[in-house]
Amino acid sequence: VPVFLFVAAPYIRRYVAGGRCKSTARLEGKVVIITGANTGIGKETARDLAQRGKVILACRDTAKAEAAASEIRAETGNQQIIVKKLDLADTKSIREFAEKFLAEEKELHILINNAGVMLCPYSKTADGFEMHLGVNHLGHFLLTFLLLERLKQSAPARIVNVSSLAHHGGRIRFHDLHGEKSYNRGLAYCHSKLANVLFTRELARRLQGKFQRQAGFTANALHPGSVSSELVRHSFVMTWLWKIFSFFLKTPCEGAQTSIYCAVAEELESVTGQYFSDCQPAYVSPRGRNDETAKKLWSVSCELLGIQWD
């Protein structure tokens, strides 16, 4: 068995690594925002895109983000790697980030909604939203809403939402969105990842039409794979399992490939409302294809955030 594993190891690793983004597209003169870009796949996505154009790291922990930005600047030679404070668990912070960005930057070409929380003990955001739903879905929903016009003005533009295979286990529980009646941290994560898929679907539908076809304005979602990252830090058991089975997990760089692919691949210029994994289209759960649920979630999200997005 040890000999077999020794021989098979490179092949297993290659399989685990999955697809790679092969696009060499440049982003000169273009602006990219990546949320949660100070660690994990967000940081690796930023590292790659920094070799192509200007990247804004939108992060809650600015000290960590500055360290990541310094590392990326030194490695790529690109000085246009900028850190901005963004706490997705606080709508005030989201609005302040958007206000400052819109005042300072005249264009935005790619928005990568990457940040996320997973397996949190029950807690709420500053606005009273259950943490997974608040950060993973509502925070990015509001951020996208606030930046949408700038994206439209800069088209061709792309919105990339990092979801997960976990969306297959999710349900949108409209009767208990904030988990006040019953709460399971694993299912809460699944529900929020399903919300990402439904948001992408409805957003793409609303962007469809003459403008989208002419300008190439797209919104797609993706599963990055099972990645060895800090995302499981709230669970001792998952952290332990992740260490034991790290050989069978993607590295953050491997996990970032589909995000990069959705952001830059030339062949996706007019592809919208889709879900990808390993740099290719992937199966979406029946709940993730339910247009009625997507429309209702959109409406409820607007209501919770106090916005009108028609």
A 10 A CB-CB count for 103 gives 8
Category of 113 on φ-ψ map: left (φ > 0), alpha (ψ -120 to 50) or beta: beta
Distance CA 302, CA 310 (A): 10
Distance CA 297, CA 174 (A): 8
- 67: CB partners within 8 A, 6+ apart: 38
The encoded tokens of residue 17 equal 């690594």
Distance CA 269, CA 64 (A): 33
- How far lies 192's CA from each of 4, 136, 197, 276, 296, in Å? 40, 6, 9, 17, 15
Give yes or no for a contact between 266 and 52, defined as CB atoms under 8 angstroms apart. Answer: no
Distance CA 76, CA 78 (A): 5
Active site amino acids: 189
User: Which residue, 254, 192, 269, 221, is CA-closest to 112?
Assistant: 221
Distance CA 30, CA 173 (A): 39
Q: What is the dihedral sign for C-alpha 11, 15, 18, 23?
A: positive
Angle at 111 between CA 74 and CA 55, to 5 degrees: 15
Distance CA 117, CA 251 (A): 18
Q: What are phi and psi of 221, to 5 degrees?
A: -120, 165
